[in-house]
């Protein structure tokens, strides 16, 4: 049967917990895993590309996704986390001003995207591109870019018009 959402979350929590435990241990340390994480990341990226080429998408209930996909993604993201934390070049790239500024709105994107997805899918951008003769992959990429931009704009509006006002109140509750 299909993989339950609870099982998917368990895979991700287990992989993330493993990285957290290693990060908190000065003896084990993440620095010892950096070379392995880089290999796992590269192999995982190759596996993701090959799986997409084989399936032409990422159908949630396909047996490959159910058996290898979710666990593989959890391990792949854990490897990415090790690389980000332990690689000075990646850390400096992630501290770029525009990226930190975008981080202000990331929680809004996280909260709002689930509510916006049904409305955005009703726009049927991918279907329209396919009907015009374009490949399905172009439709998916275009739809994802449009949906992401709309979610980000709404999150920016939410932060600017709503959340920022509450964040200013923090100064009244200093510890």
Q: Is 27 helix (H, G, I), strand (E, B) or coil?
A: coil
- Residue 125 predicted with pLDDT over 60: yes
Instruction: Give the model confidence (pLDDT) of 8-56 as tens digits.
Output: 567 677 777 777 777 777 766 777 788 888 998 999 889 888 888 887 7
Q: How far apart are CA 161 and CA 147, in angstroms?
A: 21
pLDDT value for 4:
58
CA distance 78 to 38: 11
For residue range 65-118, list pLDDT tens digits in order. Answer: 777 777 788 888 888 888 888 887 877 887 888 888 888 888 888 888 888 877
* pTM of this prediction exceeds 0.85: no
């Amino acid at each position: 049967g299909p993989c339950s959402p609870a099982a998917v979350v368990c895979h991700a929590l287990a992989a993330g917990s493993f990285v957290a435990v290693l990060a908190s241990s000065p003896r084990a340390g993440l620095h010892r895993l950096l070379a392995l994480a880089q290999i796992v990341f590269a192999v995982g990226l190759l596996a993701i590309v090959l799986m997409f080429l084989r399936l032409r998408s990422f159908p949630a209930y396909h047996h490959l996704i159910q058996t290898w996909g979710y666990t593989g993604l959890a391990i792949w993201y854990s490897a990415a986390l090790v690389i980000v934390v332990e690689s000075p070049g990646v850390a400096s790239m992630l501290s770029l001003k525009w990226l930190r500024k975008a981080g202000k709105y990331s929680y809004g994107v996280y909260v709002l995207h689930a509510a916006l997805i049904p409305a955005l899918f009703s726009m049927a951008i991918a279907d329209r591109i396919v009907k015009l003769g374009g490949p399905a992959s172009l439709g998916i990429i275009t739809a994802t870019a449009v949906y992401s931009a709309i979610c980000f704009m709404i999150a920016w509006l939410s932060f600017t018009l709503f959340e920022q006002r509450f964040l200013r109140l923090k100064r009244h509750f200093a510890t």
